[in-house]
Structure 1
Amino acid sequence: MYNPQWLRSFATVAVLGGFTRAANKLGLTQAAVSQHVRHLEEQLGPLLIRRPRQIELTPAGTALMAFIQDMERAERRLKATLSEEVSDQGEVSLITPGSVGLALYPVLLDFQQNHLGLSIRHRFAPDSEVLHAVLEKHYELGLVTLKPDDPRVSASAFTEEVLELVVPAGSSAKSWIDLQRLGFIDHPDGRAMATRLLSRRFPGNPGIGSLPVHGFTNQVALILEPVSRGLGFTVIPRHARESFAQPASIKTVACGDPVVDTLWLIHRSEWPLSGAAQWLVERLRGVPRFRRGRAG
Structure 2
Amino acid sequence: MDPHLLRTYVTVARLASFSEAARELGYTQSAVSQHIAALEQDLGAPLLTRRPVAPTAAGERLLEHAGPLLLRLDAARADVVRLASAPEHGLTLAVTPTALGPRTLAALPAAGVTLRALARDEIPAAVATGTADLGLVDGLAAPSDPLRLPDVAPLTTRGVGEEPVCVLLPADHPLTRRPGLRLGDLVDARWLDAPGAGLPLAHLRGAGGGTGFRSALRYEGTDLHTLTTLAAAGHGLTVLPHGIATGVPGTAAVPLVEPRLVHRTELLYGGGLRGAAAALAGELLDGV
- When normalised by structure 2's length, the TM-score is 0.52
1:122-137 matches, within 5 Å, as 122-137=115-130
The answer as to whether partners of 2:168 and 2:253 remain within 8 angstroms in 1 is yes
In structure 1, how many angstroms separate the alpha carbons of the residues matched to 2:211 and 2:233? 26
C-alpha deviation, 1:207, in angstroms: 2.0
In structure 1, how many angstroms separate the alpha carbons of the residues matched to 2:107 and 2:163? 19
C-alpha deviation, 1:180, in angstroms: 8.4
Deviations 1:64-95 (A, max 9, x none): xxxxxxxxxxxxxxxxx944xxxxx9211110
The answer as to whether partners of 2:124 and 2:135 remain within 8 angstroms in 1 is yes
| AA aligned opposite 1:276 | A
The answer as to whether partners of 2:161 and 2:264 remain within 8 angstroms in 1 is yes
In structure 2, how many angstroms separate the alpha carbons of the residues matched to 1:149 and 1:205? 23
C-alpha deviation, 1:281, in angstroms: 2.1
| AA aligned opposite 1:225 | T
Match of 2:238 in 1: 234
Match of 1:186 in 2: 193
In structure 1, how many angstroms separate the alpha carbons of the residues matched to 2:183 and 2:242? 22
In structure 2, how many angstroms separate the alpha carbons of the residues matched to 1:177 and 1:162? 17
- Structure 1 residues 153, 175: CA separation in 2 closer, same or farther (over 3 Å shift)? closer
| AA aligned opposite 1:187 | A
In structure 2, how many angstroms separate the alpha carbons of the residues matched to 1:239 and 1:125? 21
1:34-73 matches, within 5 Å, as none
- Structure 1 residues 175, 121: CA separation in 2 closer, same or farther (over 3 Å shift)? closer
C-alpha deviation, 1:123, in angstroms: 0.7
The answer as to whether partners of 2:182 and 2:259 remain within 8 angstroms in 1 is no
In structure 1, how many angstroms separate the alpha carbons of the residues matched to 2:260 and 2:182? 18
1:1-296 matches, within 5 Å, as 82-83=86-87, 90-101=89-100, 106-107=105-106, 111-112=109-110, 118-144=111-137, 145-147=147-149, 149=151, 152-160=154-162, 162-173=164-175, 183-188=190-195, 190-196=200-206, 199=208, 207-209=212-214, 213-220=215-222, 221=224, 222-238=226-242, 240-241=244-245, 246-247=248-249, 249-260=251-262, 262-269=264-271, 272-285=272-285
In structure 2, how many angstroms separate the alpha carbons of the residues matched to 1:273 and 1:187? 33
In structure 2, how many angstroms separate the alpha carbons of the residues matched to 1:283 and 1:177? 38
In structure 1, how many angstroms separate the alpha carbons of the residues matched to 2:229 and 2:249? 11
| AA aligned opposite 2:265 | L
- Structure 1 residues 105, 177: CA separation in 2 closer, same or farther (over 3 Å shift)? closer
C-alpha deviation, 1:276, in angstroms: 1.7
- Structure 1 residues 219, 103: CA separation in 2 closer, same or farther (over 3 Å shift)? farther
C-alpha deviation, 1:147, in angstroms: 4.8
Percent of paired sites with the same residue: 20
- Structure 1 residues 102, 157: CA separation in 2 closer, same or farther (over 3 Å shift)? closer
Aligned to 1:123, what secondary structure does the other structure show?
A: strand
Runs of 4+, deviation exceeding 6 Å: 174-178
Alignment RMSD: 3.7
Deviations 1:120-175 (A, max 9, x none): 11111123211111111111111234356556312222223654322112323379
In structure 1, how many angstroms separate the alpha carbons of the residues matched to 2:164 and 2:156? 23
- Structure 1 residues 156, 182: CA separation in 2 closer, same or farther (over 3 Å shift)? closer
C-alpha deviation, 1:229, in angstroms: 2.2
In structure 2, how many angstroms separate the alpha carbons of the residues matched to 1:140 and 1:168? 38
In structure 2, the gaps of 5 or more residues are 1-84, 138-146, 176-180
The answer as to whether partners of 1:157 and 1:263 remain within 8 angstroms in 2 is yes
Is the helix fraction higher in 1 or 2? 1
Aligned to 2:258, what secondary structure does the other structure show?
A: coil
| AA aligned opposite 1:130 | I
The answer as to whether partners of 1:155 and 1:265 remain within 8 angstroms in 2 is yes
- Structure 1 residues 138, 247: CA separation in 2 closer, same or farther (over 3 Å shift)? same
In structure 2, how many angstroms separate the alpha carbons of the residues matched to 1:146 and 1:161? 18
Aligned residues between the structures: 185
The answer as to whether partners of 1:101 and 1:124 remain within 8 angstroms in 2 is no
The answer as to whether partners of 1:183 and 1:232 remain within 8 angstroms in 2 is yes
In structure 1, the gaps of 5 or more residues are 1-80, 84-88, 113-117
